[in-house]
Amino acid sequence: MGCEYSKLTTCCGDSDLDGVIGEAQKVEKEEKSEVGDVPAFREYTVEQLRKATSGFAAENIVSEHGEKAPNVVYKGKLDNQRRIAVKRFNRSAWPDSRQFLEEARSVGQLRNPRLANLLGCCHEGDERLLVAEFMPNETLAKHLFHWETQPMKWAMRLRVALYLAQALDYCTSKGRALYHDLNAYRVVFDEDGNPRLSCFGLMKNSRDGKSYSTNLAFTPPEYLRTGRVTPESVIYSFGTLLLDLLSGKHIPPSHALDLIRDRNIQMLTDSCLEGQFSIDEGTELVRLASRCLQYEPRERPNPKSVVTALVPLQTETEVPSHQIMGLPQVATAFPLSPLGEACLRMDLTAIHEILESLAYKDDEGAATELSFQMWTNQVQETLNSKKKGDAAFRHKDYKAAIECYTQFIEVGTMVSPTVFARRSLSHLSSEMPEEALNDAVQAQVISPVWHIASYLQAASLFALGRENEAQIALKEGSVLEEKRNRTS
């Protein structure tokens, strides 16, 4: 930003400069208004992103391929509480930092509600990182191939197809028609359950890297011949995604086209969709997939005509995405404090930091009670157990913390909601969610209006997979915290 400012002052007077800055702010405001509160592209330092991801901690990895992938994606949170996804390239991917910055800046100019937009990048030393909006509701691959509670409904599959086509059409209109390795892992769902196209695919995995990493059976035929991605190659990949949406499986295009030629569409469609769509609707989607998968690139449709074909197929257009998907819409239902957010995300590191900074200031009256009992050896031992537990908790030695806090609790000379809260988090961090829930409930028994007890119950219930109960506990914690803040 400093360089840009000095360039402007060299060619403009102060009054002219005010006008230029005013116009720039106006443009930025218009861009923001198009996509909510998405800020303009900026550069980050490695230290900022290290802090945001808790030191690129393994528990913050969200990419399906995990730590061994060439380019790992982490979830994180900036100082302003904005949640982000950080893609960290391997060190040899982009040797020329200037080329990386130019490419990232170009992608970073795009702003659209159908994209998980690129917020910035970092190119310090050997580090090459991209920063994007964080999408909290998993990938299309997860919802389509590895679903746990319910298969994706037909109306949602049609919406995914349309929103992706609209994303590609927007990118094409802005001169970014090339998308590398479009597949079900590149489609992510935002807090409202709406599908978005990840901006990461608008950049190659490296300066000279291959644009397709998937099985050759799913690769556009011309890419196998030339090794180059074209706009028509992207449409071919979109066709494979349509097959994914139809079948609920990752079927090779050649096999799918054989089934279509034999008019065996029933074998192609997901059995979970029975009764959800008409034969005409299914036939139209199959026809569109076939057009996208044509062997000759020039015979495939462009993104705009794909959008035109998909709009009339949409159903349940008035129903919000999160409702069709069966997802809770916590973010817009009520505001969450940093602790509430941490419990929603199951960010145990952030919960630990908050409990550690809070110390025992919410244990009203406990110190007075102890002062009258200090003369017994038993109480002295109890206090020592608590001190040892606090030291272990501070250093995240959760096993030792559980043992020491248990000794303190079992003696029973005093009650402390904070000790139960700390032991609850220690149980959560030790993968003992049932015990964690019991402790959080006990903390609330001692202190019924203590918001932290409700929040820890929510985190424990999320860990147990009891989603609806967790949402209720989360809301309860939020209400209690708001009341507390109003009266304090």
pLDDT 10s per residue in the chain (488 long)? Answer: 333 333 333 333 444 434 434 434 433 443 443 456 789 999 999 999 998 888 898 878 988 664 455 689 998 878 766 889 999 998 788 999 999 999 999 999 999 999 999 999 999 999 999 999 999 889 999 999 988 888 999 999 999 999 999 999 999 999 999 999 899 999 999 988 999 999 999 998 777 766 776 577 788 999 888 888 899 999 999 999 999 999 999 888 888 888 888 777 777 888 899 889 888 888 899 999 999 999 999 999 999 999 999 999 999 999 999 999 988 654 445 678 899 989 998 999 999 999 999 988 888 654 434 444 444 555 677 788 889 999 999 999 999 999 999 988 987 767 889 999 999 999 999 999 999 999 998 888 788 889 999 999 999 999 998 887 888 888 889 888 888 887 76
Partners of 129 in the β-ladder: 88, 122
**Chain region(s) in the chain for CATH 1.10.510.10:** 138-325
Partners of 197 in the β-ladder: 115, 187
For 244, the token pair is 């994914």
Helix (H, G, I), strand (E, B) or coil at 387: helix
Q: Which residue has the tokens 């100019």?
A: 109
H/E segment holding residue 119: strand 118-122
CATH code, residues 42-133: 3.30.200.20
How many CB atoms lie under 10 A from the CB of residue 115?
24
CATH architecture of 138-325: Orthogonal Bundle (1.10)
Q: Please, what is the angle between helix 348-358 and helix 377-394, to 10°?
A: 140
**Chain region(s) in the chain for CATH 1.25.40.10:** 338-365+374-487
Write phi, then psi, for 468 (nearest 5 degrees).
-65, -45
Stated pTM of the model: 0.65
CB 213 within 8 A of CB 63: no
How far, in Å, CA of 195 to CA of 137, rounded?
9
CATH code, residues 338-365+374-487: 1.25.40.10
CB 105 within 8 A of CB 118: no
Annotated catalytic residues are: 181
Burial class (CB in 10 A: 0-12, 13-18, 19+), 138: middle
Chain mean position to CA 309: 30
**Chain region(s) in the chain for CATH 3.30.200.20:** 42-133
